[in-house]
Amino acid sequence: MPRNTHSTAAPDEPSPGRYRNPLACYFAATRPAFLSVTLVACLIGLATAHGSGVTLDAVTATLTVLFALVAHAGGNVINDYHDAVSGADAANTQRIFPFTGGSRFIQNGVLSPRQTAVFGYGLLAAVIPAGLWLTWHTGPGLLAIGIAGLFAGWAYSAPPLALIGRGLGEAVIAAGWLLVVVGTDYVQRGSFSVLPVAAGLSYALLVANLLFINQFPDHLGDAAVGKRTLVVRLGPEVAKWGYLLIAILAYGWLVSMVTIYLLPQHAAAAAITLVFSFSAARELIADASNPAELATPIKRTIVAANVHGLLLAAGLAFGRWP
């Protein structure tokens, strides 16, 4: 492995020699702590199917969750690679590790860019056989969902599209995690339904807010290499209001779906997480231009998304549907 040439690495960041087992090293490079948002999205998809009367198949459900996690891990690694190639992560001196600024595996000399690229694209390639098998057993619609998901994972950070640098990162993230919910439901149901869209959009928007708030500590490094995220384009003092807007849209969507009887009333319990989202919004509005103060609202955003999704899944799975 390459030598560590990064002189400003924080003590808790990865470093050469820390991972004596190569498997542990590569596993850590996927940023496994952040894969929970995909697991929760799968639970929502399974819950919409089960709650609306579909009998779940344990084998296909397990494979769906497993390979959705592998796809997310591949997307994380690929994003690290392209942020290293662009110089965005190297230029990021205001990062809040481990939440922003990438995994630091390349910058700190733990993995080379080539090792990272091969690993990331290998993970995405590994998803294809499982996706084809699931398509064979469920229906051709899953193929379209899978292709769209893989495309989003690639186009998010890879040139020539690099959609996050075009101010479209939040839209890609929301669409990608909604696809996870829809795809998981489809595998069980064998057909498309409006229910996973109605159920999953609020969660997908809260996941998008996690990406959005992470851009604030990173915006100077992003701007230095021409990575024009929404925060770079608008500036922190204008962009900060976008977080509150996304949160309002998320909770408004959930309440409206329950109100029009598309979702069971128990699903509305997930709206209790607005306490985390709105307090994070308040803190972001106060400190948008002060990255050192954003660790707490970032943590609240992570809690808001994950707890919202878990409560939503429980309400969908065990609530009384209209």
What per-residue confidence (pLDDT) applies to 231?
97
CB 134 within 8 A of CB 66: no
Give residue-wise pLDDT tens across range 71-87.
999 999 999 999 999 99
Distance between CA atoms of 299 and 76, rounded to whole angstroms? 19
* CATH class of the domain comprising 22-318: mainly alpha
**Residue 13: strand, helix, or coil:** coil
CB 179 within 8 A of CB 145: yes
Give residue-wise pLDDT tens across range 195-243.
999 999 999 999 999 999 999 999 999 999 999 999 999 999 999 999 9
Distance between CA atoms of 317 and 51, rounded to whole angstroms? 4
Average pLDDT over residues 89-118: 95
Give residue-wise pLDDT tens across range 248-259.
999 999 999 999
- Residue 17 pLDDT > 90: no
What per-residue confidence (pLDDT) applies to 4?
39
By the 10 Å C-beta count (0-12 exposed, 13-18 middle, 19+ buried), 99 is classed as buried
Count Cα neighbours of 95 within 13 Å in the Cβ-side half-sphere: 22
Distance between CA atoms of 73 and 145, rounded to whole angstroms? 18
Average pLDDT over residues 122-143: 95
Q: What Rg do the C-alpha atoms of the chain give, in angstroms?
A: 19
Q: How confident is the model at residue 6 (pLDDT cuts 50, 70, 90)?
A: very low
Distance between CA atoms of 130 and 297, rounded to whole angstroms? 37
Distance between CA atoms of 20 and 78, rounded to whole angstroms? 23
What per-residue confidence (pLDDT) applies to 70?
97
Give residue-wise pLDDT tens across range 161-193.
999 999 999 999 999 999 999 999 999 999 999
- Residue 3 pLDDT > 70: no
- Residue 112 pLDDT > 60: yes
List the helix and strand counts (H, then E) for the chain: 11, 0
- Residue 8 pLDDT > 70: no
Average pLDDT over residues 108-133: 96
Cα separation values, 58 from 36, 55, 61, 64, 187, Å? 20, 10, 5, 10, 11
Q: Which of 2-16, 38-52, 136-150, 287-301 has the lowest mean pLDDT?
A: 2-16
Q: Which residues lie closer than 8 Å to 180 by C-beta, 6 or more apart?
A: 38, 41, 42, 45, 68, 149, 200
- Residue 7 pLDDT > 50: no
**Domain positions in the chain:** 22-318
Average pLDDT over residues 153-163: 93
What is the pTM for the complete model shown? 0.94
Give residue-wise pLDDT tens across range 260-305.
999 999 999 999 999 999 999 999 999 999 999 999 999 999 999 9
Q: Which residues lie closer than 8 Å to 139 by C-beta, 6 or more apart?
A: 186, 190, 191
CB atoms within 10 A of CB 212: 25
